[in-house]
A and B are shown apart, each in its own frame.
Chain A
Amino acid sequence: MQHVVVFVEHKAGATRKVTFELATEARRLADQLGGKAHAVVLGPGSAAIAEQLKAYPLDEIHLSEDSDVEKFLLAPAVEYLDAAAKSIGSCIILLPNTMLGKDLGGAVAARLSAGMTSDVTEITVEGGRVNCVSPKLGGALITSCTFKDADYGVITIRPNSFAATPGAGAGHVSQLEKPVGNTYAVSIESDVEEGSGELGIEEAPVVISGGRGLGGPDPFTTLLKPLADALGGAVGATRAAADAGWVPYSLQIGQTGKTVSPQLYLAAGISGAIQHKVGMRSAGTIIAINKDGGVPIGEFADLLVVGDLFAIIPELTKLVQEAKAVHA
């Protein structure tokens, strides 16, 4: 028997869809492993998140409103998560595959002498063993791996890979005790949110990406953003665009950027280099707009429209907006 523990990432009480994907998957795994589904929520705003989590089939929600979690880097969260896991006993810890999720996952795995596997897109249970499917080598290989010789396993999960399905659960809420005797070494002096309230590209169901073909920074906001808004998505980019300083690196998709799996990926002015492809090849549908019909992206896009993106995108945005208006 093994329990499942979800680490809930949030910012002052605002969380993202991946939290509910994790909660849903935790229930499914816990049932197969004969254990309970837990969640751990830390820092100011935790109580509000716990209320939202009650709509998902969790057994126990452990929280602490301790403000140290947002005053000091990583260490307080590591202490709480480590202590919670030890009091729950043998368990699988699910975190989102985000910067924070990978940091906490690594630290907690070291403390618990646990196995760790990241960027997982599929989990199965066979004979009490948890098997995780994840891409390696920039997506060139898909591996399945399992935990061994460890009471604990740490899994970071790629957003948009699992369904988020509300359901009834005991939803019992309890307060975590503050780990004693620690002074935290790394203080957070300032914390700036960029593009707050918008979906991150890793979680967006639709990603509208631009490359060198956009020719400068402005078309990202004047051309791609309105289309992304109309389709309920986010704007992404190639490394060529990020290197040129047109967009921040946080929007870069590919081998040295983010990996996304949206339902729809629209690539405008992007050639489809292998280093870009590995970050978006698992999208549901890929559509490309390129003035050159011989580009590599034509080899794997579901649809390549050969034409001028500057002429096509504004018209497409209009069509989508009109269709939405009719349905609204």
Chain B
Amino acid sequence: MKIVVTVKLVPDANAEKRLDPATKTLDRQPGATVLNPFDEYAIEAALQLKEKLGGDTTVTVFSMVPETGKETVRKALAMGADDAAMLSDPGLAGTDVWGTAYAMAHALKKIGFDLVITGGLAEDGNTGGVPCALAEHLGIPALTNAAKIDIVDGKLHIQRETDSGHQVVQGPLPAVVSVTMAVGEPRYPSLKGIMGAKKKTVTALTLADLGLERPVGSAGAKTEVLSFAPPPSRAKGQIVTAEDGPSGAKIIFDFLKEKKLI
């Protein structure tokens, strides 16, 4: 059983982030990229499944990312994945949801899989459209927002979160499964894992390996960024010390009335 986990590299949320004003794409300085936090949960889910299934189950990490992302991809290997594949090509710059899912689908077919596990959202683009778009391009089902993944008799059994509760669903393999944080806290790489990751194989793919029929990158994108700006900053408000409970309550109550919120 071959599990492929798709991971995106995103600018570090704690570092200063910006779009390149000239290309209106994200400025990805190599030092400042980290694994998309949601994808760490996808890796965790894949590793849990590998432990459960045992046998010849393997976990491959896949990322569509410039070559400079290789060191960050190794962090996923350090967590315990067996090997990795990267799709890197200058022609992918400016790719949007449509092109990402399209190119990823072809790359995944090339490397082969029984199950694809994705995160639910990439923090940078903030779309959440890739998992289902990817499943469509692959022509296989999407089982989204999984909290718990089991495989019994070759069938997927998934507990998933919904907007208003949870569901249990069942489906065939191969499939695309996206996960939520409910799968469990991502493990920290051990020292052994970090050392071992250096020896693991990272396969490099380029667009030439895929033979795509339709254009990707900016040329094939269906969306275009027009402008960007930091959010309006919130002004510092009042800070008032309350003597006791009733006076604190009164301060807030009066403020709510003043703001016509009550």
Contact code string B209-242 (vs A, CB < 8 Å = 1, else 0)? 0000000000011111111111101111111111
A194 contacts B166, C-beta separation under 8 Å: yes
Report the bound CA distance from A252 to B262 in whole Å. Answer: 25
CB-CB under 8 A for A142 and B228, given A110-B101, A190-B168, A307-B248: yes
Quick one: which of B11, B38, B243, B261 contacts A137, CB cutoff 8 A? B11
Q: Is B55 an interface residue (CB 8 A)?
A: no
Chain A residues lying within 8 Å of B205, measured Cβ to Cβ, are none
A144 vs B229: C-alpha distance when bound (angstroms): 9
- Shortest A318–chain B CB gap in Å is 7
Q: Which of A75, A107, A141 contacts B17 (CB 8 A)?
A: A141
Per the 8 Å Cβ criterion, residues 53-84 of A in contact with B are 73-75, 78
Residues in A lying within 8 Å of B, measured CB to CB: 9, 11, 73-75, 78, 98-100, 102-107, 109-111, 113-119, 131, 134-150, 153-154, 156, 185-196, 200, 206, 231, 243, 249-250, 252, 255-256, 263-264, 266, 274-275, 281-282, 285-287, 289, 293, 298-308, 310-316, 318-320, 323
**Seed contacts A113-B98, A148-B224, A308-B248; 8 additional CB < 8 Å A-B pairs:** A141-B228, A141-B229, A187-B171, A255-B13, A285-B261, A304-B239, A307-B243, A308-B245
A54 vs B199: C-alpha distance when bound (angstroms): 63
CB distance from B64 to the nearest CB of A (A): 16
Which residues of A have CB within 8 Å of B248? 289, 305, 307-308, 311-312, 315-316
Which of chain B's residues has its CB closest to A185's CB? B141
Interface-lining segment among B1-9, B67-75, B251-259: B251-259
Q: Would A255 and B37 count as touching, CB distance under 8 A?
A: yes
B127 interface hit (Cβ, 8 Å): yes
Q: What would 27 A/B residue contacts be, using CB atoms closer than 8 Å?
A: A73-B169, A78-B132, A78-B136, A99-B145, A103-B132, A109-B133, A110-B102, A111-B136, A114-B222, A115-B96, A136-B126, A137-B17, A137-B123, A137-B126, A141-B18, A142-B228, A144-B225, A144-B227, A146-B223, A148-B224, A189-B170, A255-B13, A305-B248, A306-B239, A307-B241, A311-B248, A319-B249
Which residues of chain A are within 8 angstroms of B144 by Cβ–Cβ distance? 73-74, 99, 103
Chain A: which residue is nearest B121 at the CB level? A102
Decide: A137 near B246, CB < 8 A? Known: A106-B128, A131-B226, A304-B237: no
What is the CA–CA distance of A104 and B144 in the complex, to the nearest angstrom?
11
Majority secondary structure of chain B interface residues (helix, strand, loop or mixed): mixed
With A and B bound together, what is the CA distance between A103 and B130 in angstroms? 9
Residues of B within 8 A of A137 (CB): 10-11, 13, 17, 26, 123-124, 126
> What string of 1s and 0s marks CB contacts (under 8 Å) between B109-140 and chain A?
00000000000010111111111111111000
The 10 closest A-B CB pairs, nearest first, are A311-B245, A106-B129, A115-B222, A307-B242, A315-B249, A186-B171, A106-B132, A312-B248, A110-B136, A102-B128
CA A102 – CA B145 in complex, angstroms? 11
Residue of B nearest to A151 (CB): B222
Are B234 and A136 in touch, CB under 8 angstroms? Answer: no
Contact at A145–B222, with CB atoms within 8 Å? no
**Residues of B within 8 A of A (CB-CB), count:** 90
CB–CB A145/B17 < 8 A = no
Q: Which residues from 132 to 184 on chain B have a C-beta closer than 8 Å to any C-beta of chain A?
A: 132-137, 141-145, 161-172, 175, 180-182
Asked whether B19 is an interface residue with its Cβ less than 8 Å from the other chain, the reply is yes
A73-B143, A105-B129, A106-B101 in contact; A11/B164 too (CB < 8 A)? yes
Q: Check A263–B261 contact: CB distance below 8 A.
A: yes
Q: Please indicate the chain A residues that have their CB under 8 angstroms from the CB of B56 in the complex.
A: none
| With known contacts A287-B252, A307-B248, A311-B245, A119–B223 Cβ distance under 8 A | no
Assess whether A306 is in contact with B129, with CB atoms less than 8 Å apart: no
Q: Collect the chain A residues with CB atoms within 8 Å of residue B98's CB.
A: 109-110, 113-116, 150
Q: Give the residue name and chain of the A residue nearest to B145 (CB).
A: A99
Question: With the chains together, A249 CA to B249 CA distance in Å?
Answer: 29
- How far in angstroms is the closest Cβ of chain B from A270? 15
* Bound Cα distance A255, B227 (Å): 22
Do the beta carbons of B245 and A307 come within 8 Å of each other? yes
Complex CA distance for A146 and B185, rounded to whole angstroms: 37
